[in-house]
Amino acid sequence: MDEILKVDHLKASYGNETILKDISFGVKKGEIRMVLGSSGCGKSTLLNNVLKFIKSDEGTITYFGKSFGPKEGLDSETRMRTGVLFQSGALLADLTVAENAMLPLKRSMPYMPKSQMEAIVADRLEKVHLLHAFHKFPGEISGGMKKRAALARAIALKPELLFCDEPSTGLDPVTARSLDELLLELRDTLGVSMVIVSHELESIKIVCDRFVYLKDGYVLKDATLKEGMESDDPILRHFFNRQCPKEYNAEDFYHFDFID
């Protein structure tokens, strides 16, 4: 399979502190690639740099065969081929669910007739099992429904690559499992590839095809889920088993709380 996203030797800092020192990995068409690591390791920083929300120090990001340097932003065509599900959902309270999901269409295709936009939004809401909430406001729906509404907005333009930042955060186990299964369903029905930042072990076990594990600004492990769970590396054993090996220095796990 061809890689639709490639990150090459990414370096990123906040002020004088270097967070990401040398990060390289790729995402293949149709796969769910997860970004894992301990608190403060740079997972969200990586996502922001790959999405070009902030400028990097060094490195190249290649989307669909087109490369962007560290100080370049993404062009409009590439933006339209990607979607983002933010951790908070980031729904606008004064807009209905449908109006929120319509925002990418209004921004990218402002001259499209409203009736056509509404038809597209209805299709996307149906795909996330939320068509019944078309006219509801965010304050009138549950936390899980808000995540699905935000997901409908993220796939409004039918992206080829979807980024998700901690999608299961704040959800109860049953709702989180339902969201995980929905992501798998969208991968299969829309053919969308995904990059997901997560610390939720159950979600990781359900949706992950391959992962990159970040530590000290580098990629500690780039592997399949099976390879990660069977690894002898004490850091990975701790992460996947939630147990700190007795022979390992406890200081290496200080602040290891799985919240970025």
The predicted pLDDT at position 243 comes to 52
Task: Name residue 20's beta-bridge partners.
Answer: 12
Q: pLDDT tens digits, residue range 237-260?
A: 888 886 544 444 444 433 333 333
Please state the domain extents for the chain. 3-81+160-253, 91-158
Task: Name residue 162's beta-bridge partners.
Answer: 83, 194
Least confidently predicted of 44-58, 82-96, 212-226: 82-96
Which CATH topology does 3-81+160-253 take? Rossmann fold (3.40.50)
**What pTM value is reported for the model?**
0.88
Answer yes or no: is pLDDT of 88 > 50: yes
Nearest to 223 by CA among 233, 209, 235: 209
**Distances in Å between the alpha carbon of 100 and those of 10, 113, 143, 194, 215?**
33, 17, 15, 22, 36
Mean pLDDT over each residue of the chain, to the nearest integer: 88
